[in-house]
Structure 1
Amino acid sequence: MARPREFKVEDAVGGAMDVFWEHGYEGASLPDLLSGMGLSRGSLYKAFTDKKSLYLVVLERYEKDYVIPAVGLLSGPDIADGWDRIMALFGNVIADVRKGDRRGCLACSAAAGPASEDTDIADAVHRTLGKLQKGFEVALKASPVHAGLDAAARRQMADMLTTQYVGTRVMARSQAPVAMLKRSVASLRLLA
């Protein structure tokens, strides 16, 4: 008779997310993961099979907890002007850094790291960042300055904003000076 799991999967995934966010995929050692998740080696492997499977579950959780709310900011009605929504999202990045949060974006870090070597991780990253890109498209459509763009031009601009977002988050993680990040975000106003 199999023993029931004595841990909450959601709590374990949350602990793993913190470890991957701090150390990255390659830097997250098995002891780090076991400690962060509060699991034994056997429980980790029984529940998640291997490190990569766990990482994919973590990326899915990150999308739900962090990316979907960001997309909600970009596409929601709380801020009428879509360009102001975009600037609010980038402003949140600067605010996080000012508060000392230099972890960046877990999906952006995955894009800059393990996604270059693993197609499953790349697919997860592209799905997640694709949602962000669609959010930028919605925001641009709600921007009086950009509403006249045709669909192809709006998509290109959303691609550029997604790239800028990823770059800003990766640079934040790399300890780039806040002043440089602020200048980079401020340069977006040239598009408005």
Structure 2
Amino acid sequence: MGRPRQFETDAALELAMRVFWSKGYEATTLPDLLGAMRISRGSFYKAFHDKRAVYLAALERYNRTRVEETVTMLQSPGTGTGKERIESLFKALSERPDRSGCFLCNAAVDRAPHDPEIEGRVNAMVQRLEQGFRRALEGDRPDIEPYLLDEAAKSLVVSYLGLQVLDTAGLNAQMAESCRLQVKRMLEAAVGEGKTAQRSAATAVNANPSGNDSA
């Protein structure tokens, strides 16, 4: 009997998330949630207690689904190089037909400034995405300096979240393509720096193959 209840809970949270996503936390009322989740008032209070608990559960569901899927894709070496996976992600975002945006971005603006617990969860999800980008890059260039990986990963997270915010605002095709090109240049620059570092190390070894310091 436990599995059907869990399935119903997940389905109800998905519907509740859409209400919070579209209306915002403060504007969402209990009748809004009851109608969307298709549960009685008694079932609501038994399962979630209050609106904030539903919001936290919906945010965690977004973490377990959307964020998890993105991070898994970025870290899956069987689906191309890290650079190719990153470019594929941005291509899919820029070509998405709807303007749904991102619940993580929504929470960062709508609730994180007012609720320390939500702020912590938002930051944790952002860090998960950053780590996903970092590992994708690291898989292509294990020789690159850690600080360069960190900078590139942070820049990619900013572009990833920014693209979705602009998408919600009606991002046009030209702006989406511009964002994709900027990401492509960023990745090419990171690859170039990795190769330059590798060539520099190889040159140093060839110049002094014994490894002895001439000084």
TM-score (norm. length: structure 2): 0.78
Write the deviation string for residues 35-91 of structure 1: whole angstroms up to 9, x where unpaired: 110123332233112211111111111111111111111100233311111111111
Quote the residue 2:185 is aligned against. 190
Instruction: Pick one of 113, 116, 121 that aligns with 2:118.
Output: 121
Higher RCO (CA-CA < 8 Å; seq separation 6+): 1
Q: CA deviation at 1:154?
A: 0.7
Name the counterpart of 1:151.
Answer: 146
Tell me the equivalent position of 1:26: 26
Shift of 1:170: 1.0
Distance 2:90 2:32 in 1: 31
1:138 to 2:135 alignment:
yes
SS at match of 1:103: coil
Deviation at residue 152 of structure 1 after TM alignment? 2.2
Distance, in Å, in 2 between the alignment partners of 1:149 and 1:136 is: 14
1:165 aligns to what?
160
Structure 2 counterpart of 1:53: 53
1:83 touches 1:142 (CA, 8 Å); kept in 2? Answer: no
* Larger-gyration structure (1/2): 2
Counterpart AA for 1:71: V
- TM-score normalised by the chain length of structure 1: 0.86
Separation in 2, partners of 1:79, 1:93: 17
Q: Which amino acid aligns with 2:132?
A: G
Say whether the 8 Å CA contact 2:159–2:183 is kept in structure 1: no
SS at match of 1:8: helix
Instruction: Rate the CA distance shift 1:29–1:103 in 2: closer, same or farther, 3 A.
Output: farther
Equivalent in the alignment of 1:79: 79
Report the identity percentage: 35
| 1:105 and 2:111 aligned | no
Q: Distance in 1 between matches of 2:87 and 2:122?
A: 23
- Cα distance, 1:169 vs structure 2: 0.8
Distance 1:149 1:67 in 2: 26
* Number of residue equivalences: 182
Give the CA deviation at 1:131.
1.0
Q: Which runs of 5+ in 1 are unaligned?
A: none
Query: Quick one: distance in 2 between partners of 1:78 and 1:95?
Result: 23
Distance in 1 (CA, whole Å) between partners of 2:150 and 2:26 is 33
- Which residue of 1 is the match for residue 10 of structure 2? 10
